[in-house]
Amino acid sequence: MEVTVAPGRLPRLVLLPGMDGTGDLFAPLAQALGPQAAIDVVRYPGRQVLGYDELEPLVRAQLPTQQPFVLLGESFSGPLAISLAASRPPGLRGLILCCSFARRPAPGLALMRAGLLDLSMRLLHSKLMRAPMRHLLLGGSASPQLSDMLQASLKQVSVAVMTHRMKEVQRVDVRDKLSRVGVPAMYLQALQDRVVPRRAVAAFQRGLSALHLVQLDGPHGLLQASPAASARAIENFCRDLPSPPACP
């Protein structure tokens, strides 16, 4: 885990990455938050096939133990963030879910069923998939730099790992854990998301009390394509969190 420690009023942010798991794609958000933000970026093994059940203890072991923190789960990592928050780890003060889901998002991933998943994943690192992946995740106006960043992150993940993660998404369902989350929560929704449909937020609105919904222009890769707006929403959410109890 990479750690940037800086003084400030905001609690530490623990960032759980999207499907690639590298954490590299948080760079635009980290830059937008600025050097005053204390950020932990959790990274998943790119060559070891691990599902949600195996990733959860890996992430749990990296949570801060000596200071308050806010947990952010991006896309694939939303169910992980929910499971961790439901267990109420010490120091957790808030939960942020970005373009994520509590159960399989449909119809956004419908093409990944009926045998098309294995085929599409075999082509993951081919030139044929670059434009469709860029458009799906980053929208039609992604900069060359952002597109290169996406490709570089995907190259670090084996086809077997990515295929397994996609299959995990197809069967995940953590809706029963939402009611056990005891901290304020925010959902960042991308208005041009082609992966997770807007109705996915309904499960969070039913299961999380007083969920704060923030809708922003951008594609599924909201933190990458709209980092400044995302950073402002995150900062506002963190500043509005209740102060931690005073030490006796």
Question: How confident is the prediction for the chain on average, in pLDDT?
Answer: 87
Write down the pLDDT at residue 7: 41
Q: What percent of the chain has pLDDT over 70?
A: 84
Give 149-160 pLDDT, tens digit per residue.
988 998 899 988
- Average pLDDT value for residue range 209-232: 96
117, pLDDT greater than 90: no
Burial of 106 (0-12, 13-18, 19+ CB in 10 A): middle
Confirm if 32 and 54 have CB atoms less than 8 A apart: no
Question: How does pLDDT run across 56-113, given as a tens digit for each residue?
Answer: 999 999 999 889 999 999 999 999 999 999 999 999 999 999 999 999 887 545 445 5
Q: Is the peptide bond before 17 cis (omega within 30 degrees of 0)?
A: no
Model pLDDT, residue 144: 87
Where does the pLDDT of residue 166 fall: very low under 50, low under 70, confident under 90, or very high at 90 and above? confident
Of 14-18, 93-97, 115-119, 194-198, give the lowest mean pLDDT range: 115-119
Residue 238 or residue 2, greater confidence: 238
pLDDT at 122: 60
Q: Is 248 a residue whose pLDDT tops 50? A: no
Percent pLDDT > 90 in the chain is 66
Two structure tokens written together for 54: 């195996």
Pairing type for strands 2-4 and 39-41 reads: antiparallel
pLDDT band of 125, cuts 50, 70, 90: low
Q: Which tokens is 1 given?
A: 């885990």
Looking at residue 129, its pLDDT comes to 67
Lowest mean pLDDT among 11-25, 126-140, 221-235: 126-140
CA-CA distances (angstroms) from residue 80 to 121, 144, 217, 223?
22, 31, 25, 18
Strands 185-190 and 212-216: parallel
pTM: 0.89
pLDDT tens, residue by residue, 14-48: 999 999 999 999 999 999 999 999 999 999 999 99
